[in-house]
């Protein structure tokens, strides 16, 4: 019905208001209103630590430390650098190690199959025992391996499970399979959904010939205080570059008993990597999803970074209240497949004729406020969830805002209904009014009733190119215009 408008903005201007043609509210549903939407963002310049890989490793005094003294020089242990080592990292360079169990497999298999690409993604799901002989292992799933026995290792965390030992060793058992051309070992759980193209985009930013440990914290501060802020949480998944994996594998079994008291495999891995002297590199697209209840607010305010993973997909509430958890994820993935880089990316726009503010979290949800709302407020996550362990309102490792008691400060919520191509590199996402959303407002002012007449938004956009994320390393901020919006 309308052409897609694309404008390039002066990056020095963080936003710009553009007027709408005036329309009668009765026509709102049908009339196409165009506005230019400014995607503006603040990118955080990551600080990269460069450290030397020398023989001098500082060690605590302990009975097994002799195993650590003979570190070989970095250049001796890493992959033989072959001609293709300088080619861009792609999906074939990643070896997945999925922490599974024979018990949980049947219930979680379909979540893995949401992202697993048979004959494209490489790796295995690691089980504690063989599945029953009469069970035909599906071709659409990763092949399984049965983990080696770990009974010789100590485990002393009274509230944990010995299975942590088995899961810690997945990286070692994966490495020892000796598959060709592996640059990264990526660990995840069987209730983790990876967004594979974005994972590749993120890992390709780093030199796989250096030692990297990449992932992110838990969202719940209480978890980080217990399990460490330096841990890349295993459910959100983490990536270990080949040279770091080589070193980790060498010390891992000796290391395990030193950290017998640690609860989880991810903590044990972190502790052993700390002995090598490599810090975590945090990438905000990995999501442990250590929240209870409805993760809506978390996803609707995704940080400016490619969406890499979502964990606990089987325990948090469904992302779309009218769909099952699995169907809801499929809908998010349907948008993701069209434009991986833009998925969950946040954009705001204003209609100064009506004094409306609109916030789009691409591929998932849209908020309409019949007032002018600051970007700062729109970028802040609504507290639709509680902390993981103690079920409290806070604290989290990112900023949150409570749902306002004043109904007339709440947004009107729309959720993704469909996504389609409308031209080369151009998508149209449709967001429909969502009545059963946790943020639902019952405000009855005139401003709200006019806005409540809008049943659907059509958002058209050009697909984002992965190259945009390279700017994260070199610039502090950028602004660009990529969307047109139809109400």
Ligand X SMILES: *[C@@H]1O[C@H](CO)[C@@H](O)[C@H](O)[C@H]1NC(C)=O
Binding residue for ligand X (CB under 6 A) from 135, 137, 398, 421? 135
Nearest approach in angstroms of CB 352 to ligand X is 7
Site for ligand X in 410-469 (CB under 6 A): 418, 428, 430, 458
Q: What is the C-alpha R_g of the chain?
A: 24
Please enumerate in sequence order all residues whose Cβ is within 8 A of that of 478, keeping only pairs 6 or more positions apart, or say none: 11, 41, 43, 471
Nearer Cβ to ligand X, position 355 or 445? 355
**Near ligand X by CB under 6 A, which window of 85-93, 300-308, 438-446, 470-478?**
85-93
The answer to the question of residue 32 lying near ligand X (CB under 6 A) is yes
Residue 154 binding ligand X, by CB under 6 A: yes
Q: Does 151 bind ligand X (CB under 6 A)?
A: no
Phi-psi region of 91 (alpha: psi -120 to 50; beta: other; left: phi over 0): alpha
- The closest of 462, 470, 467 to 39, measured between CA atoms, is 462
For ligand X, give the closer residue by CB, 206 or 486. Answer: 486
Give the shortest CB-200-to-ligand X separation in angstroms: 9
Per CB under 6 A, the segment of 18-26, 86-94, 242-250, 290-298 that binds ligand X is 86-94
User: Are the beta carbons of 219 and 298 closer than 8 angstroms?
Assistant: yes
Q: Does 118 bind ligand X (CB under 6 A)?
A: yes
Q: Which of 14, 90, 334, 397 binds ligand X (CB under 6 A)?
A: 90
Please compute, for residue 467, the number of CA atoms within 13 A of its CA located in the half-sphere on the CB side. 1
β-strands 356-361, 365-369 pairing: antiparallel
Kindly tell me which residue out of 26, 46, 55, 355 binds ligand X, with binding defined by CB under 6 A. 355
Q: Which is nearer to ligand X, 10 or 84 (CB)?
A: 84
Would you say 113 or 173 has its CB closer to ligand X? 113
Taking a C-beta distance cutoff of 8 angstroms, is the pair 411, 360 a contact? no
Q: Per rule CB under 6 A, is residue 257 in the interface with ligand X?
A: yes
Which DSSP state fits 414? E
Cα 292 to Cα 63: distance, rounded to the nearest angstrom: 41
Identify each DSSP E strand in 362-454 by its residue range: 365-369, 381-382, 385-387, 400-401, 412-421, 426-433
486 binds ligand X (CB under 6 A): yes
Least Å distance between CB 314 and ligand X?
Answer: 21
Sheet strands (E) in 195-280: 213-215, 238-241
- Interacting residue with ligand X among 52, 58, 70, 119 (CB under 6 A): 119
Query: Toward ligand X, which CB reaches closer, 9 or 34?
Result: 34
Phi, psi of 367, deg, nearest 5: -115, 135
Q: How far is the CB of 366 from ligand X (least distance, A)?
A: 13
Rule CB under 6 A: say whether 347 interacts with ligand X: no
Residues 179-238 interacting with ligand X (rule: CB under 6 A): none
Distance (Å, whole) CA 240 – CA 188:
12
Q: Please, what sign has the CA dihedral across residues 365, 369, 370, 371? A: negative
Stretch that binds ligand X, among 34-42, 134-142, 224-232, 323-331 (CB under 6 A): 134-142
Segment interacting with ligand X (CB under 6 A) among 131-139, 213-221, 273-281, 389-397 = 131-139
Helix (H) and strand (E) counts for the chain? 14, 21
Phi-psi region of 24 (alpha: psi -120 to 50; beta: other; left: phi over 0): beta
How near is the Cβ of 325 to ligand X at its closest, in Å? 24
Q: Is 139 in the site for ligand X (CB under 6 A)?
A: yes
Structure tokens at 331: 């809908």
Helix (H, G, I), strand (E, B) or coil at 224: helix
- Interface with ligand X (CB under 6 A), residue total 24
Positions touching ligand X (CB under 6 A) are 1, 32, 80, 84, 87, 90-92, 118-119, 132, 134-135, 139-140, 154, 257, 354-355, 418, 428, 430, 458, 486
């Amino acid at each position: 019905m309308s052409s897609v408008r694309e404008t390039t903005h002066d990056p020095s201007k963080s936003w710009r208001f553009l007027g709408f043609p005036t329309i009668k509210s009765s026509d709102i549903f049908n009339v196409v209103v165009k506005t230019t939407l400014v995607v503006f963002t603040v990118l955080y310049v990551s600080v990269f630590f460069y450290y030397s890989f020398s023989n001098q490793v500082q060690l605590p005094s302990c009975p097994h430390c002799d195993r650590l003294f003979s570190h070989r020089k970095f250049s001796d242990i890493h992959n033989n650098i072959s001609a293709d080592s300088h080619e861009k990292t792609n999906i074939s360079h990643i070896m997945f190690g999925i922490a599974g169990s024979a018990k949980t497999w049947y219930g979680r298999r379909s979540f893995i199959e949401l992202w697993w690409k048979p004959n494209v993604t490489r790796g295995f799901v690691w089980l504690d025992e063989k599945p029953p002989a009469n069970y035909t292992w599906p071709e659409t799933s990763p092949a399984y391996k049965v983990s080696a026995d770990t009974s010789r290792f100590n485990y002393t965390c009274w509230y944990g499970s010995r299975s942590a030992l088995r899961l810690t060793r997945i990286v070692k058992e994966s490495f020892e399979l000796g598959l060709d051309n592996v640059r990264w070992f990526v660990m995840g759980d069987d209730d983790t959904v990876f967004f594979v193209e974005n994972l590749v985009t993120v890992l390709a930013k780093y030199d796989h010939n250096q030692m990297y440990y990449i992932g992110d914290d838990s969202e719940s501060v209480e978890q980080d205080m217990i399990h460490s802020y330096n841990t890349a949480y295993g459910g959100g998944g983490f990536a270990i570059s080949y040279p770091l994996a080589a070193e980790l594998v060498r010390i891992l079994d000796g290391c395990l008993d030193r950290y017998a008291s640690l609860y989880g495999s991810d903590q044990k891995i972190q502790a052993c990597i700390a002995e090598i002297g490599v810090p975590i590199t945090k990438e905000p697209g990995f999501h442990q999803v250590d929240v209870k209840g409805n993760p809506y607010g978390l996803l609707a305010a995704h940080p400016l970074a490619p969406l890499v993973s979502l964990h606990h997909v089987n325990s948090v509430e469904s992302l779309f209240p009218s769909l099952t958890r699995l169907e809801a994820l499929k809908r998010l993935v349907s948008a993701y497949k069209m434009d991986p880089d833009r998925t969950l990316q946040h954009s705001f726009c204003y209609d100064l004729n009506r004094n409306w503010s609109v916030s789009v979290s691409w591929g998932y949800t849209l908020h309409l406020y019949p007032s002018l709302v600051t970007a700062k407020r729109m970028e802040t996550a609504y507290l639709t969830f509680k902390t993981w362990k103690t079920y409290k309102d806070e604290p989290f490792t990112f900023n949150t805002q409570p749902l306002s008691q004043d109904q007339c400060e709440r947004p009107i919520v729309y959720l993704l209904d469909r996504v389609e191509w409308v031209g080369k590199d151009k998508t149209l996402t449709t967001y429909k009014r969502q009545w059963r959303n946790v943020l639902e407002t019952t405000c009855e002012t005139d401003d709200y009733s006019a806005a409540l007449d809008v049943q659907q938004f059509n958002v058209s956009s050009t697909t984002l190119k992965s190259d945009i994320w390279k700017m994260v390393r070199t610039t502090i901020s950028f602004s660009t215009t990529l969307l047109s919006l139809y109400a």
